[in-house]
Amino acid sequence: MLVEISHILPYAVLFSLPLAVLGALLLRRFVRGSLAAALTVLAIVPVVATVGGVLAVSGFMFTSTLVTTVLVCGLVALVTVPAAVVLGRSIARRSVWEREARARERAAEASRRELVAWISHDLRTPLAGIRAMAEALADGVVTQPAEVADYAGRISAEARQLSGMVDDLFELSRITAGALRLTLSEVPLADVVSDVVAAERAVAARKGVELRADAVTWPVVLGSDPELARVVRNLLANAIRHTPPDGTVAVQVDVEGAEALVRVDDACGGIPEADLPRVFDVAFRGTPSRQPVGGGLGLAIARGLVEAHRGTIDACNHGAGCRFEVRLPLRTA
């Protein structure tokens, strides 16, 4: 028995080894490519090498035993190769998903760190002013009634700014945590836009900015009135902030297909094309000339609220400035 094994072993190795080496080279070539192809080669190589060794040992005499062995190897290949393809594709999809998930997690963590740093800075500024003015009042440095009233007014304004920033952070945390629950009803955009425009008109007038609103038609959408009002308010506040005196901020409402359109045009001079895809990111502030006052979360909140309504929001350069366009499903959509 040992004599027979020692006689046939060199033939088996002589024919099987080159096939195995060739398979290893092919596998090395596919390692950096398709995972499914690599696993297919990995499944085929042992079968082919086994068939080669069997053929060598049999002296290429197709006996019934050889035919049976080859058929068995073929059946094994029919099972293992499709299984390798399916497994390879599954592993590849999972690897891609995990890689993308890690990238998103790293980006989100970086954004959170930037946001915390910026918010901490923005909170310190009004807090320092409030503390300084409160100490001045407490120490009797300011005693004249007019000065006391002025300090009280400034403290109130700084407190309102802090309250707005806290509200923005709370709203953003609800959006990012998926805890936002909307009570949907039929909302006429005429009421939403007109109320917000009326509230923001005084702010625009103090800056010397003309604010106007018009519509081809006033649609009715299915949404939440407070949240939609906040979207329009955030867009208008952003537009007024970046529009120079004597500029114009225009709100236009229209219907396109099964969607209601709300467009806000400003006269900011435009945004660099590279920054446009990022203007709605939480931690993005753009160039120094466009850095927002306060937390700068208005556009990020607007995007979250619009998407919660199954709508879309985009920004583009238009005319003398930028256009922010919100699309919302109509009541009948």
d(CA 66, CA 55): 7
pLDDT at 3: 41
Give the Å distances, CA to CA, from 248 to 214, 251, 261, 302.
13, 10, 20, 21
Residue 305 scores a pLDDT above 70:
yes
Q: 209 — alpha (psi -120 to 50), left (phi > 0) or beta?
A: beta
End-to-end CA distance of the chain: 82
- Measured CA angle at 78 (ends 77, 84), to 5 deg: 75
Residue 19 scores a pLDDT above 80:
no
* Nearest residue to 53 (alpha-carbon basis) of 72, 66, 39: 66
**What b/e sequence results for 50-83 when a residue is b if at least 16 CB atoms lie within 10 Å of its CB, and e otherwise?**
bbbbbbbbbeeeeeeebeebbeebeeebeebbee
Cβ neighbourhood burial of 242 (10 Å; 0-12, 13-18, 19+): buried
Mean pLDDT (the chain) is 78
pLDDT digits (tens, 9 = 90+) for 83-120: 666 766 676 677 767 777 788 778 767 766 766 776 77
d(CA 148, CA 260): 50
Longest dimension (CA), the chain: 117
Does an H or E element contain 220, and which?
strand 220-223
Pick among 3.30.310.80, 3.30.420.140, 3.40.50.620, 3.30.565.10: CATH of 185-329: 3.30.565.10
Q: Which residues contact 55 (CB under 8 A, 6 or more apart)?
A: 15, 66
pLDDT at 161: 78
CATH class of 112-176: mainly alpha
Residue ranges of the domains in the chain?
2-99, 112-176, 185-329
pLDDT digits (tens, 9 = 90+) for 208-249: 999 988 877 789 998 888 889 999 999 999 999 999 998 999
d(CA 284, CA 327): 23
Pairing of strands 248-256, 259-265: antiparallel
Does an H or E element contain 39, and which?
helix 35-58
Dihedrals phi, psi of 269, to nearest 5 degrees: 95, 0
How many residues comprise the chain? 333
0.95 exceeded by the pTM? no
253 secondary structure, DSSP code: E
pLDDT at 261: 93
